[in-house]
Amino acid sequence: MPDTTVPTQRSRMPLFRLLSMGVFLLMAGCASPPTSQRPPSVSSIPPLTTEQSNSITIHALGLVGTPYRYGGNTPEGGFDCSGLIGYVYRSSLGQVPPRTVSRMASFGRPVAMSEIRSGDLVLFGNSAPSHAGIYVGDGRFVHAPSTGGEVRLDRLDGVYWSRQPTQARRP
């Protein structure tokens, strides 16, 4: 004959504890932050050293003359402005900045234009910038300006660029 005894309160206690512990572990796992491949936060990016700034500058200047290509991000295929920045930073530092100019507006730290130095990003436009380049010193920056053009060196105080709202970021 089968055992039809009802489990006592005492025999259910270990099962209850085990179930409670499982629920707790499941909830703790769900509460963990996601492990996505987002760009590092501002506080986790150390400031650029002089050597890094120089490396970025030399690399950017070496790409002057590369054809412009919308969506381009290699010397062989051409560059758009954010592709140029991504390529230089990835090659020089191993850092991957955001792919779009508007997202670069929150990359790194803001820098006063009076304190800009080689390797800093310059962003043009109002609250959502629409163009960017890499500052290389002496009031000049390297950028990929437009379709049909090529990567070039321009001056921040030039007729066109001096009229644009400008901000600087230091990765």
Which amino acid is residue 52, in one-letter code? Answer: Q
Q: Let me know how long the chain is.
A: 171
Strands 121-124 and 78-79 come out as: unpaired
Q: How far is the C-alpha of 18 from the C-alpha of 91, rounded, in Å?
A: 52
| DSSP one-letter code for 118 | T
Number of H helices, E strands in the chain: 4, 8
Query: For residues 85 and 133, what is the distance between their CA atoms, to the nearest angstrom?
Result: 7
Report helix, strand or coil for 17: helix
Q: Which residues are catalytic?
A: 81, 131, 143
